[in-house]
Chain A
């Protein structure tokens, strides 16, 4: 294929979109140029074998549990009729709005030896009674799975509801019963969606610091922070972060391989999936299963948070909270728009330009999601501050004492660049799978009819992509509501958000007082999540 101006523009777009992620990655790679020998010897001997094993176990457990839970619940809700289904359909997405670190603290408080459940069990049943420890690898896997399964649930449900009817029909024509059709036809059909969901889950798990720190589980991420905060070696921390990014890239590559060349493209939008009516014990089991997950992942933790919030609201809740909430929503909203616009551009550029290096760069642009937020923030901050210093020196030389003071690193612009570096993956997931479902023949037909690329975008693609864009926007929005390290480091002075509020309280161990801003984060995230859930059936 000759390089048309369009393809050149596409390549340029991919390069530009990769810059935010490349900056911290370059910082991390550069750290390898000056080996932190002493720290590394120690890490290899006493730290990495243990945290490597822990990280692998955690990743495996969370991937398996979210895949099973997410796909199972998606099939339950998409393929069956049972009491409460209409509510569970959207409510099962709600855990997305709860920050993982908050859920971890609630679980630790409720389920530890000194917590209410175990205390009650010891008093009423047997003084020697013990539950499995929540402050453990298993506990961390539980908490992470409960707050991350909705990614898989959402994407799998979209797959079942958009292409499920025809697949099921075809399988049943071949004589398979509904159960066999699910195993042999629907599940393979949904595999790319499940893989995309589990991919996001794995990247979040790799980058997670909040949950594992709250439950004191040592992982690769905690080792990164220990080298930096504890041993004063940012170099060693960045080196380990570079390894983490490589691991994530390998994961992205693996996910692509697992997906194979199965594509939704060319599949006609099929009719609504016929839901099987469950009756009697099976209906009750379905309701109980969905209610159980929802209770453990959302309702009970929220109850605890609300109880704490109410206890401290009299002292803490004041007019400033309106400003905190307004800033959080404005920041997350505008951030989501920026990320989704970038994801759309990214998707189009990769659709137009399929050369190997461009695609590779396109993938690299998304691995920021697997890098611990604070490391990414510092990795990005240093080059921006260097640019600021460079420009300032030029200004000062040219204008002397009347030169304006630049402060690039403390601006919302820097914040948004960092958000792009971190969250592009969350936007590209849904956008790409949406684009994959639009066959190229459609593009060509539109071009033949004389529609330019903008007209094609507006009149043909956007209507078809609406659902995917909405899904992307909501996922990024709730992630940004919860985001802390980047906001903390790059916010302008006095710019406080709800997440920053949680940090202020939590950093001093005042968890009960952190409940109030946490509840507000969840409340602000719930509405868009419900909106998404109601529209998800239209994601075709």
Chain B
């Protein structure tokens, strides 16, 4: 057996050495570090290549890891764009000086101001709504109103939440911090924890299924998880309720991107962002995951549109990043796991 090992080892070393060859950075290639996953970006990136001839390469991973990677690589980083599925992570990358400000009339026109960085370093490309879902057999929607109200005694033992480790909940609580301040937010989160029907879930899909099975009556979930289930099971016994209508609006977050500080193709990267924010590309980018386009002019997926219009929180999503560490500490104190 061992005699067979050495040719194999040589091959492995040759393979490793081969990849040491310099990586050419051609003008017509863009490199994206993306926390938005392959199946959600590749169809859109491919469409861009077909339309413009510009090749788009990408490396996926957790946003925090990609940000460390950008920071460690510094001015030699091959990345032109950083894409994430949460505003907080973009805020963090911008704070650390990893993204550059972009002046673009197109982006300013296509994307509502509260869904992009006031410092012009990152831009929302799709909108993710996190709202209340309920079991219509056990809850009369007239009893529902706001996230805050779910902390009340009427919901004792009836609420399901996803883990506070997920950035979506950290952003939700951060936005509540921005609106209500610390004491009141902590009171609300403590109320939620007291109302839990079961320990927090590891993902939104399991939470929706728990509502359907009657383990709990209400929960807070991103709408596209619901969309994925009802696309296959039309009679899934859970309904969305638009939270905080007339009371600050439903919590929204973005999937978005920014051009890196050390990009060698910043102009091409900006054109790519502009393309993503307009027309069919904008509709496509949101529709692959049943999210909402950020551009009000873009078409909404018909199933998504069937859940109705809703008032969105007008707070700038940058707040989600600024207040995220405080939100995490608050949730730790409140015993929200």
Chain A contact residues, CB within 8 Å of chain B: 39, 42, 46-47, 108-109, 112-114, 119, 133, 135-136, 213-216, 218, 222, 225-226, 228-234, 330, 333-335, 337-338, 341, 374, 377-378, 381-382, 385-386, 388-389, 392, 404-413, 415-416, 458, 462, 466, 469-470, 485, 488-489, 491-494, 496, 500, 503-505, 507-511
Report which residue of B68, B201, B213 has the largest number of chain A beta carbons within 10 angstroms of its beta carbon: B68
Which B-chain residue is minimally distant from A412 (CB atoms)? Answer: B16
Within the assembled complex, what's the spacing in Å between the Cα atoms of A413 and B199?
43
Q: Which residues of B contact A500 (CB under 8 A)?
A: 60
Q: Which residues of A contact B16 (CB under 8 A)?
A: 411-413, 415-416
In B206-262, the 8 Å CB interface with A consists of: 206, 209-210, 212-213, 215, 225, 228
Q: Is the CB of B39 within 8 A of A508?
A: yes
- B154 at the A interface (CB under 8 A): no
8 Å CB contact of B205 from A389, A494, A511: A511
Q: Which residues of B contact A334 (CB under 8 A)?
A: 8-9, 11-12, 15
**Alpha-carbon distance A42/B9, docked complex (angstroms):** 48
Contact with A along B313-331 (1 / 0, CB 8 A): 0000000000011001100
B12 in contact with A389 (CB, 8 Å) = no
User: Pick the contact of B201 from A135, A385, A492 — CB < 8 Å?
Assistant: A135
Q: Mark B1-30, 1 if CB is under 8 A from A, else 0.
A: 110010011011001110110111100000
Known contacts A229-B64, A385-B72; is A405 also within 8 Å of B198 by CB? no
B179 within 8 A of A: no
Instruction: Give every chain B residue within 8 A of A508 (Cβ-Cβ).
Output: 37, 39-40, 289
Could you give 26 example pairs across A and B, Cβ below 8 Å? A46-B332, A47-B332, A113-B215, A114-B215, A213-B202, A214-B202, A216-B200, A225-B165, A226-B328, A229-B165, A229-B167, A232-B324, A333-B8, A334-B8, A334-B12, A374-B65, A385-B69, A385-B72, A385-B73, A405-B22, A408-B20, A410-B59, A413-B19, A485-B65, A491-B59, A509-B203
Q: What sequence of 0s and 1s flags, for each residue 45-70 of chain B, a beta carbon within 8 Å of any chain A beta carbon? A: 00000000000011111111100110
Beyond contacts A230-B165, A511-B205: 12 other A-B pairs, Cβ-Cβ < 8 A, are A114-B206, A114-B212, A216-B337, A230-B328, A334-B11, A337-B8, A385-B69, A405-B22, A405-B25, A488-B61, A504-B37, A504-B38
When distances are taken between beta carbons in the complex, the residues of chain A under 8 Å from B205 are 509, 511
State the CA gap A458–B1 with chains docked (Å).
12
Do residues B65 and A378 form an inter-chain contact, with CB atoms below 8 A?
yes
* A509 partner residues in chain B, CB cutoff 8 A: 203-205, 225
A133-B199, A338-B9, A508-B289 are contacts. A493–B59 as well, Cβ < 8 Å? yes
Nearest-CB distance from B258 to chain A (Å)? Answer: 16
Bound CA span A322–B17, Å: 24
Given the interface pairs A231-B329, A413-B17, A509-B225, the reply to whether A404 lies near B37 with Cβ below 8 Å is no
Give, as a whole number of angstroms, the nearest-CB distance from A225 to chain B: 7
Give residues of chain B (291-337) contacting chain A, Cβ–Cβ below 8 Å: 324-325, 328-329, 332-333, 337
The 4 A-B pairs of least Cβ separation, nearest first, read A334-B12, A114-B213, A385-B72, A404-B22
Q: How far is the CA of A334 from the CA of B17 in the complex (A)?
A: 13
B74 within 8 A of A: yes
A456 to chain B, nearest CB (A): 14
Residues of B within 8 A of A (CB-CB), count: 67
Contact A493 B12 (CB under 8 A): no
Taking a contact as CB atoms under 8 Å apart, the answer to whether B22 and A337 are in contact is no
Task: Write out the residue numbers on chain B whose beta carbons fall within 8 Å of the beta carbon of A214.
Answer: 202
B78 at interface, CB cutoff 8 A: yes
Tell me the smallest distance from the CB of A499 to a CB of chain B, in Å.
Answer: 12
Q: Is the CB of A229 within 8 A of B62?
A: yes
B163 within 8 A of A: yes
Task: Note all chain B residues with C-beta closer than 8 A to A229.
Answer: 62-64, 165, 167
**Binary CB contact string for chain B from 189 to 201 against chain A (1 if under 8 A, 0 otherwise):** 0000000001111
Residues of A close to B1: CB separation below 8 A: 466, 469-470
Chain B residues within an 8 Å CB radius of A507: 37, 62
Pairwise interchain contact A510-B22, C-beta atoms closer than 8 A? no
Nearest to B37 among chain A residues (CB) is: A504
Q: Which residues of A contact B58 (CB under 8 A)?
A: 493
Q: A409, B72: Cβ atoms under 8 Å?
A: yes
Choose among A109, A133, A230 the residue that contacts B170 (Cβ–Cβ < 8 A).
A230
Complex: A274 Cα to B277 Cα, angstroms: 74
Q: CA of A229 to CA of B67 in the docked complex: distance in angstroms? A: 10
**Contact indicator B213/A494 (Cβ below 8 Å):** no
Given A113-B198, A405-B24, A491-B59, A46 and B37 touching (CB < 8 A)? no
**Which residue from A381, A405, A496, A510 sits with its C-beta under 8 Å from B69?**
A381
Given A466-B2, A493-B57, A392:B76 Cβ within 8 A: yes
Assess the A389–B65 pair: CB atoms within 8 A.
no
Q: Which residues from B are CB-within-8-Å of A231?
A: 324-325, 328-329
**A222 touching B165, Cβ below 8 Å:** yes
The docked-state distance in angstroms from the alpha carbon of A172 to that of B206 is 56
Asked if A337 and B12 sit within 8 Å, CB to CB, the answer is yes
Asked if B145 lies at the interface with its beta carbon under 8 angstroms from chain A, I say no
Q: How far is the CA of A348 from the CA of B64 in the complex (A)?
A: 40
- A386 close to B163 (CB less than 8 A): no
Please name the residue on chain A nearest to B11 by beta carbon: A334
Known: A413-B17, A416-B16, A466-B2. A42 touches B329 (CB 8 A): yes
Complex: chain B residue closest to A133, CB-CB? B199
In the complex, how many angstroms separate the beta carbon of B138 from the nearest chain A beta carbon?
A: 14
- A112 to chain B: closest residue by CB: B206
A residues within 8 A CB of B199? 133, 135-136, 216
Contact of A228 with B9 in the complex, beta carbons under 8 Å: no
Residues A413 and B76 in contact in the complex (CB < 8 Å), given A135-B202, A230-B165, A374-B62 = no
> Closest CB-CB distance, A343 to chain B, in whole Å?
13
CB pair B20–A232 under 8 Å, yes or no, is no
A406 with B22, Cβ < 8 A, contacts A334-B15, A491-B59 known = yes
B2, B12, B24, B201: the one within 8 Å of A469 (CB): B2
- Whether B76 contacts A389 by the Cβ 8 Å rule is yes
Known contacts: A114-B213, A510-B228. The answer to whether A381 contacts B62 by CB under 8 A is no
Cβ–Cβ < 8 Å partners of A222 in chain B: 165
Cα of A305 to Cα of B217 in the assembled complex, Å: 29
Q: Which residues of B contact A388 (CB under 8 A)?
A: 73, 76
CB distance from B131 to the nearest CB of A (A): 17
Select from chain B the residue with minimum beta-carbon distance to A500: B60
Partner of B209, one of A42, A114, A337, A378: A114
Question: Within the complex, what minimum Cβ distance (angstroms) separates B158 from chain A?
Answer: 14
Does A504 contact B39, Cβ atoms closer than 8 Å?
yes
Give Cα A185 to B289, complex, Å. 62
| CB nearest neighbor in B for A135 | B199
Task: Give the Cβ gap from B213 to chain A, nearest Cβ, in Å.
Answer: 4
Q: Across the interface, do A409 and B202 meet the contact criterion of CB distance under 8 Å? A: no
In the complex, are the beta carbons of A489 and B39 less than 8 A apart? Answer: no
Chain B residue, CB-CB nearest to A214: B202
Q: Are B38 and A113 in contact (CB under 8 A)?
A: no
Q: Does B31 lie at the interface of the complex (its beta carbon under 8 Å from any beta carbon of A)? A: yes
Q: Which of chain B's residues have a CB closer than 8 A to the CB of A114? A: 206, 209-210, 212-213, 215
A382-B68 contact, Cβ under 8 Å, with A114-B210, A226-B165, A230-B167:
yes
Contacts of A234 in B (CB 8 A): 64, 68
Q: Which of A385, A413, A511 interacts with B20 by CB under 8 Å?
A: A413
Which A residues are CB-close (under 8 A) to B337? 216, 218
Give Cα A225–Cα B68 distance, bound, in whole angstroms. 13
Please determine whether A216 and B332 come into contact, CB atoms closer than 8 angstroms.
no
Enumerate chain B residues within 8 angstroms of A382, measured Cβ to Cβ.
Answer: 68, 72
A46 to B72, CA, bound (A): 31
